[in-house]
Amino acid sequence: MRLLVVEDDPDLNRQLVGALGDAGYVVDAAKDGEEGHFLGDTEPYDAVVLDLGLPVLDGVSVLEKWRRAGKKMPVLILTARDRWSDKVAGFDAGADDYVAKPFHMEEVLARVRALLRRSAGHATSELDCGPLSLDTKSARVTVNGSAIKLTSLEFRLLAYLMHHKGKVVSRTELVEHLYDQDFDRDSNTIEVFVGRLRKKLGVDVLHTIRGMGYCVSEPDNAG
Ligand code: CA
């Protein structure tokens, strides 16, 4: 899952990027509204954390421009505690949720998890596929109840496919959602990671669809 943080306060920006990165997301950061708008307009983010009080272009205008352009990614806005009118303007502009400053990082993490799973149509933090289970809250993966140890990239890969269970996800889409903008992207390495992940899981849930991409779905009973 790839996220964008738009926050002009350098300390807060660093804290948000750090905490979301530690939670297993790939995070890009912008420090003003113009840069934030550009990234959100050109890169495929799974969710955005957007401060409203931003230099160059304010957060509400950034959000309005994204929504007018048809961008549908879930957006969590950061508002000042005493400014109820900010929240109203934010929701009217297309925000999905808000956190008032000052906030506890845990609350931001929980709200981002909720946004991601709602946008993927899931009601709880636990994603299941036959014997395979992935808890987005604890970052725990189990097969038939036994914990499987994954690297952070393997976890991100599996989490993205599990959020899109039953759908074919192309290699290009995976690369775009697993690496940040500065990463030297090579879609061939995805094949290697998928192979390793499949071996670790040991169950037939991660399928290669020739010429199209990958798909997580229940094991095929016939085979
Ligand atoms: Ca600000």
Provide the residue-wise pLDDT of the chain in tens; the chain has 223 residues. 999 999 999 999 999 999 999 999 999 999 999 999 999 999 999 999 999 999 999 999 999 999 999 999 999 999 987 788 999 999 999 999 999 999 999 999 999 999 999 888 887 888 999 999 999 888 899 999 999 999 988 999 999 999 999 999 999 899 889 887 766 666 678 888 999 999 999 999 999 999 999 999 987 654 4
β 47-51/75-80 pair status: parallel
Q: Has this prediction a pTM greater than 0.75?
A: yes
42 CA to centre of ligand 1 in angstroms: 23
Q: How many whole angstroms from 20 Cα to the centroid of ligand 1? A: 18
Predicted confidence at residue 157, as pLDDT, reads 94
Measured in Å, residue 103 CA sits from the centre of ligand 1 at: 14
Side-by-side strand order, sheet with 132-135: 126-129, 132-135, 140-143, 146-147
Distance, CA 153 to ligand 1 centroid (Å)? 31
Give the H or E element holding residue 57: none
The CA distance from 195 to 106, in Å, is: 34
Domains in the chain, please, with CATH?
2-119 (3.40.50.2300), 126-221 (1.10.10.10)
Count Cβ atoms below 10 Å from residue 140 Cβ, excluding itself.
14
| Structure confidence at residue 44 (pLDDT) | 93
- pLDDT for the residue 182: 67
pLDDT at site 184: 66
pLDDT (0 to 100) of residue 223: 42
Residues with CB under 5 A from ligand 1 (ion): 8, 51, 53
Cα separation of 33 and 101, whole Å? Answer: 18
- The answer to whether 50 touches 62, Cβ cutoff 8 Å, is yes
Query: From the CA of 16, how far away is ligand 1's center (Å)?
Result: 13
| Owner of token pair 């999905």 | 96
